[in-house]
Amino acid sequence: MWAPQLHKGLSPLQLCRIMRPDDANIMGNVHGGIILKMIEEAGCIVSTRHCNTQDGDRCLALLVRVEKTEFLSPVFIGEVVHITAEITYTSKHSLEVQVIVMAENILTGGKRLASKAALWYVPCSLQNVSNIMEVPSIQYVSAEQEEEGRKRYEAQKIERMETKARVEEVMPPLPNSEDATKEPHTVGFSQSSLIHLVGPLDCILHDYVHGGVTMKLMDEVAGIVAARHCNTNIVTASVDAINFHRKIKKGCVVTVTGRLTFVSNRSMELEVLVDAASLVEKEMKKYRAVSAFFTFISLDKDNMPLPVPPLKIKGEEEQRRFEEGNARYLQAKAKRLADNRQQ
Ligand code: COA
């Protein structure tokens, strides 16, 4: 299990709070989006604090990437979530923050690992958000630790170049045919959208929305799609790497759309796309701000995975996305098996 690595002169940030009924679904399972928002808040505090230890403009660290995040065990109402966040690598303009999430049952004292995450932040000047500031470097305990960090930095740089094109992909409209949207277990049947006006509550030190807020909305839409497909209690199992290429300003309207891409025997993969448009700045065109793949599982009343109804595929586009989803599913499964064997 990853544990805080104790970089010289840096202490990990601790954040904890009890889970309330409005953090969970009707079955008492805490939403993955709530955990993602807490993870992001911890990352934002630790990286903004670090970047302001130097002279010059004050800055806010903006979330630009979250590595694939697994939700290892469900968290319930009344449990206490403990987040530990630590800066583990700095490049010239970005920082990596690693986070561990523990869930504590305060009645029994039992603690378990709920999730682990790695996030990347970029400091932007509060005077002018287009100015990306330099990041004060951290001191590593050993040369190996620094080298490992550099490898993670290089690997994500390559991966995000490869996925940039997909972010630009245009969302097809909902199927026109009445029949297609009414036929259960088709992509069109469960596809769902949520519209949100970015207001002051979504932004803290400047006029741009926090990544945690966006991830929470994305998880909410993904959950609606998954529940519409299988009509059961559903939970987030994992979120693939997310890149935040564009900022979303206060006053923008965001449309978050989710659709099923792939279904295995007991899991569902959903693609969630976030489009933003300004209500007042007419010259600003609607743009794709973020996209990500979420995996959900359906649970019975004892929190055991249930079979998922097969997805009825219509047309070549849906078939292509299904096959790509299948490839991601097989790859993730092989990686989990390899990781388990190593432990
Ligand atoms: N993941 C990790 N690092 C990233 C990244 C990503 N998705 N995008 C940029 N970076 C890093 C780069 O590696 C670079 O650091 P380096 O010089 O040390 O290697 C640094 O950011 C600047 O990269 P650059 O290419 O000059 O800038 P950019 O054109 O990618 O713009 C932002 C960077 C932050 C201005 C832009 O990506 C942005 O505005 N993103 C949205 C951030 C946000 O609003 N988050 C919340 C969304 S809801």
Query: Is residue 171 scored above 60 in pLDDT?
Result: no
Q: Are strands 111-125 and 69-71 parallel, antiparallel or unpaired?
A: antiparallel
Structure tokens at 311: 């997805």
Between β-strands 192-197 and 252-263, what pairing exists: parallel, antiparallel or unpaired?
Answer: antiparallel
Catalytic annotation present for 52: no
In the structure, what pLDDT confidence band is assigned to residue 279 with cuts at 50, 70 and 90?
A: confident
Centroid of ligand 1 to alpha carbon of 64 (angstroms)? 5
Could you tell me how many residues make up the chain? 343
Is the model's pLDDT at 179 over the cut of 90? no
What is the structure's pLDDT at 5? Answer: 57
Cα angle: 340, vertex 337, 237; to 5 degrees? 90
Cβ–ligand 1 distance for 245 under 6 Å, the answer yes
Choosing from 39, 41, 62, 64 the residue with most ligand 1 atoms within 8 A of its CB, the one to mutate for a pocket test is: 64
End-to-end CA distance of the chain: 9
Residue 84 CA to residue 21 CA, distance in Å, equals 23
Tell me, what's the pLDDT at 1? Answer: 46
Please tell me the residue having the least CA distance from ligand 1 atom 8.
64
Average pLDDT rounded to a whole number, residues 313-340: 93
* Residue ID of nearest Cα to ligand 1 atom 5: 64
Is position 25 annotated as part of the catalytic site? yes
Q: Answer with the residue of higher pLDDT: 9 or 200.
A: 200
In angstroms, the CA 265 to CA 6 distance is 42
pLDDT of residue 3: 54
Does the pTM surpass 0.85? The reply is yes
Atom of ligand 1 nearest to the CA of 214: 48
pLDDT of residue 185: 96
pLDDT digits (tens, 9 = 90+) for 73-86: 999 999 999 999 99
